[in-house]
Structure 1
């Protein structure tokens, strides 16, 4: 194993809760209320899909709302929250530090746009990743494998040399479709078992040795 590919929202940072706040503020600005069901469905989606689901939920009959303008409003509210110190997910900071100290290469692979990732790096550390793939830097976002394929290309590794760490159904499908074994630590939504997915309740006490065991188990598993 040569590399670990980390998702951001809900995996390294507890920022899904911040997204919930910014979505509620955006809905209030537009005179609506976002339902819990729609919010849960949006976890792991990129900005374009999220805004589409958001508008379908809060204002299905309004044709005057421009999705691009709504995305800008949502981004502004989110940036205000991301500019503050972002909370880490339990165990995430220690795992990232241990992976870096072990000499493994790292990538941040997120559906969040680059402008917001730049703010998150104030918490995550600007030297914590050898490569970053943001949601607006790919043609096809998660659950398509393109973000993870791009990250591996930037790192110069292949799928059999990497492990991904994810929290959402879309992110897990993206990494698995790229051929990468995935440690799944669900946060806001549950992830169904599937080939190539390995589960933990949290990242507390997870270390590079655990990731290597997942990597080796995946490599030696019978291929269907």
Structure 2
């Protein structure tokens, strides 16, 4: 029976309900430029890099000439203020993370969010809960490319095929699946159409370490 090497967690929308915080910052940024962010554009941003999100926003408000770096600086400062006020856990996330740690399993946080904001968020979710943290500005290609999850597994000395990745967004699911991980998808802000082999659940309250071990063993036996 194949063993479970590690559990790799996404952050925004998976562990913490931070997508709503990003909503506030992005809408404020659009209004700062005299525009209004549309719902379809906001949906396309979920799980993408900061650079991609700024491109989407600028095009959506018909100001493609805007400097993305300037927009990122303003947005990160604003979202950092909101993160510092505290983040809400997604249902079952804190309990699952605690169970994984209590089982002695290696863990990684794998996020498209940049390091400076992740450090603020770790004030809520706890840096001690992760052996490795891989941020969006620390890889050459971010989600949906497999590089973030491959990087996390390599840093842990783990086989991606024996890792469970927990994700909420289409880009995150695609990244973890392409890396060869066993993927547990728990939708938050957008509906998912996960590829074959991805396990979709409606809440992390329905997931535990025993089930993760069975998923990895089942993959190996298939």
| Shift in Å, 1:160 | 2.2
Following superposition of structure 1 onto structure 2, how do residues 37-76 of structure 1 map, counting pairs within 5 Å? 37-60=40-63, 63=65, 65-76=66-77
1:180 aligns with 2:147: no
The residue aligned with 2:132 is 131
The residue aligned with 1:34 is 37
Contact 1:26 1:77 in 2 (8 A): no
| Shift in Å, 1:7 | 0.2
1:63-108 per-residue CA deviation (whole Å, 9 max, x = no partner) reads 3x21110111111111111111100000000000000000000000
| Shift in Å, 1:220 | 2.4
Q: TM-score, normalised by structure 1?
A: 0.95
Contact 1:23 1:74 in 2 (8 A): yes
Size of the alignment, in residue pairs?
A: 219
Following superposition of structure 1 onto structure 2, how do residues 212-223 of structure 1 map, counting pairs within 5 Å? 212-221=213-222
Q: TM-score, normalised by structure 2?
A: 0.96
Contact 2:92 2:205 in 1 (8 A): yes
The residue aligned with 2:165 is 164
| Shift in Å, 1:118 | 0.1
- Aligned equivalents of 2:76 and 2:61: distance in 1? 17
Contact 1:145 1:178 in 2 (8 A): yes
Task: Tell me the SS of whatever aligns to 1:132.
Answer: strand
- Aligned equivalents of 1:99 and 1:52: distance in 2? 37
Task: Tell me the SS of whatever aligns to 1:183.
Answer: strand
4+ aligned runs moved over 3 Å, structure 1 = none
Contact 1:184 1:198 in 2 (8 A): yes
Following superposition of structure 1 onto structure 2, how do residues 145-160 of structure 1 map, counting pairs within 5 Å? 145-160=146-161
| Shift in Å, 1:49 | 0.5
- Aligned equivalents of 1:92 and 1:120: distance in 2? 14
| Shift in Å, 1:124 | 0.6
Runs (5+) with no aligned partner, structure 2: none
